[in-house]
Chain A
Amino acid sequence: MRKIWDLAENTFRETIRDRVLNVSLLFALAMLGASVLLGTLSIGQDQKIVRDLGLAAIEFFGVAIAIFIGTSLLYRELDQRTVFIVLAKPVARHSFLLGKFCGLVATLTVLLALMTLAYVVLLLALRAFELPLLWAVALLWVELLLLVGLSLMFSTFASPVLALVYTFSLYLTGNNLDGLKALARNARPLVKVLAEGAYYLLPNLGHLNIKNQVVYGAPFSLGQWGLALAYGGCYTAFVLLLAVGIFARREF
């Protein structure tokens, strides 16, 4: 446990000092500011637009950083040969991978907290704050965990560019799985089985996305939220197990 902690701390230090992070944070804050301007253009729906745009900005930058840094994290260790130093020590392969995972997750948590803080302050100033928005942010956090897991899993066997492409493709598909389900409904038996199988096997990020509902302060059940949280947790655990399995067989 302590080794995972040490590795996580080191990864946290590595990623939090990444310049990409500062630039992204700056952009995210600028986008939040811009949402106020856009809102005023909208004749009467400015609160809704600020809420939408803010959540979208938080997700956009969170996802971008999770995927970009996540897919390059292992490559950096290999490229700079630091992996030899660490794995020559009594560090199990799974500890190494979990340490990397936890470190990047810690960085993303800090980033998400900062962006959310700015968002909430802005909404409070505009009297547009609704508590369920924070529930959406919590599910977004789970989505980021899942994406970091996917990034790490792909980068255990693929180059950073390919891992980036794979993870981003899964992010896009995972958010548009409804189309697949619709396809399954109207398809021939074989296609139907394939489409349905893919629907249940692929990460359904739509479950972790309630931002379109919460901006209206619409009532949604805590039970659904909890299930979504559990779904994201399970899938992340699955992806991490897969990643550990591949990484344990890898040679350096």
Chain B
Amino acid sequence: MFLRGAVLAGSFGSLLTLAAAAGLSGRLDRMHGAEGVARYPVPRREVIQAIATGFDNLLADSFWLQFLQYNGEKLTEDLATRRYEHLWEGLTLIIGLDPHFRDAYLFGSWVLGDAGDGKRAAELVASGARRHPTDPRYPFQLGFIEFLYRKDLPAAIQAFQHCASLAARRREDHNLWLSATRMAAGLSLRRNQRQTAIAIWRSLYQKSRELGDDRMAQIAERALERLGVNVMDIVKG
């Protein structure tokens, strides 16, 4: 009898304490919420690097996931109320730990640009491009940053052209090649530089002929026609 009572009291007590704990936890959550936005703390890069113990990539991954969790959400928020924190510190921490973290450069530059810091967005992508000089994705992104956030058309055109020259080398980058060429040519037109646009399309056309890429050549041909250039003239020289 006594034993049963003890078991009963114990079960009841454990349920009660568990419920109390859950209630307190919820209350603590609300208190955090009341203090305002959740913080995105960024530790000092030197400290983290000094204690990384060879797990640099793992730490970069975890800081990246944290970055996304905090700042990725903001991208979907209302423009007027959007407030970013420590973007530059967070991103340089991640690429300091893992200099090959592609998305930290590419996606990170979008977020920086979106936060109104086009200068640093360009700086970030450019540093990625320096570390990966043969990867066309970096100049491609740089072109967009220059164009959209810094409104620097000559720099954007230069970046897209650089991208196109890199992308032309590898078959799997052909779509990138095409897109970069289109952007370069389109932006040149926007600057009233019809001749530049024609030159860009013409070089794409010639190169795709050389490579035997009919689809690319066709796209270039049509673009040139729209600009009033007959492909046959090019072929003739």
- Are chains A and B touching in the complex at the 8 Å CB cutoff? yes
Which residues of A does B touch, CB under 8 Å?
A: 38, 41-45, 48-49, 52-53, 55-56, 59, 171-172, 175-176, 179, 205-206, 209, 211-212, 215-216, 218
User: Are the CB atoms of A42 and B68 closer together than 8 Å?
Assistant: yes
User: Are the CB atoms of A175 and B54 closer together than 8 Å?
Assistant: yes
Interface centre among B50, B53, B107 (most CB of A within 10 A): B53
User: Which residues of chain A have C-beta atoms less than 8 A from B102's C-beta?
Assistant: 45
Judge whether B64 is part of the interface by a CB distance below 8 angstroms.
yes
A-binding segment of B55-63, B161-169, B188-196, B217-225: B55-63
Cβ 8 A contact of B53, one of A41, A55, A175, A215: A175
User: Which residues of chain B have C-beta atoms less than 8 A from A48's C-beta?
Assistant: 61, 101
User: Are the CB atoms of B57 and A52 closer together than 8 Å?
Assistant: yes
Say whether, besides A45-B103, A176-B50, A56 and B64 are in contact (CB < 8 Å): no
Say whether, besides A53-B61, A211-B57, A212-B57, A43 and B68 are in contact (CB < 8 Å): yes
User: Are the CB atoms of B58 and A52 closer together than 8 Å?
Assistant: yes
Say whether, besides A176-B50, A176-B52, A212-B98, A41 and B57 are in contact (CB < 8 Å): no
User: Which residues of chain A have C-beta atoms less than 8 A from B101's C-beta?
Assistant: 45, 48
User: Are the CB atoms of A45 and B64 closer together than 8 Å?
Assistant: yes
User: Which residues of chain B have C-beta atoms less than 8 A from A55's C-beta?
Assistant: 57
User: Are the CB atoms of A56 and B55 closer together than 8 Å?
Assistant: yes
Judge whether B119 is part of the interface by a CB distance below 8 angstroms.
no
User: Which residues of chain B have C-beta atoms less than 8 A from A41's C-beta?
Assistant: 65, 68-69
Say whether, besides A45-B103, A212-B98, A172 and B53 are in contact (CB < 8 Å): yes
Distance A212 CA – B52 CA, assembled complex (angstroms): 12
**Closest Cβ neighbor of A214 among chain B residues:** B57
User: Which residues of chain A have C-beta atoms less than 8 A from B72's C-beta?
Assistant: 43
User: Which residues of chain B have C-beta atoms less than 8 A from A211's C-beta?
Assistant: 54, 57
**Closest Cβ neighbor of A216 among chain B residues:** B100
User: Are the CB atoms of A56 and B65 closer together than 8 Å?
Assistant: no
Cβ 8 A contact of B50, one of A49, A53, A179, A209: A179
Distance A173 CA – B213 CA, assembled complex (angstroms): 55
User: Which residues of chain B have C-beta atoms less than 8 A from A43's C-beta?
Assistant: 68, 72, 103, 107
Judge whether B37 is part of the interface by a CB distance below 8 angstroms.
no
Judge whether B34 is part of the interface by a CB distance below 8 angstroms.
no
Judge whether B51 is part of the interface by a CB distance below 8 angstroms.
yes
Instruction: Name the interface residues of B103-118: CB closer than 8 Å to any CB of A.
Output: 103, 107
Instruction: Name the interface residues of B12-59: CB closer than 8 Å to any CB of A.
Output: 50-58
Nearest CB in chain B: distance from A229 CB, A: 17
Distance A41 CA – B98 CA, assembled complex (angstroms): 18
User: Which residues of chain B have C-beta atoms less than 8 A from A216's C-beta?
Assistant: 100
Distance A45 CA – B98 CA, assembled complex (angstroms): 13
**Closest Cβ neighbor of A39 among chain B residues:** B61
Distance A113 CA – B103 CA, assembled complex (angstroms): 32
Distance A123 CA – B208 CA, assembled complex (angstroms): 36
Cβ 8 A contact of A53, one of B51, B58, B68: B58
Distance A5 CA – B69 CA, assembled complex (angstroms): 53
Distance A49 CA – B61 CA, assembled complex (angstroms): 6
User: Which residues of chain B have C-beta atoms less than 8 A from A175's C-beta?
Assistant: 52-54
User: Which residues of chain B have C-beta atoms less than 8 A from A53's C-beta?
Assistant: 58, 61
Interface centre among B54, B64, B98, B103 (most CB of A within 10 A): B54
Distance A211 CA – B61 CA, assembled complex (angstroms): 13
Nearest CB in chain B: distance from A184 CB, A: 15
User: Are the CB atoms of B103 and A206 closer together than 8 Å?
Assistant: no
Nearest CB in chain B: distance from A177 CB, A: 10
Nearest CB in chain B: distance from A235 CB, A: 16
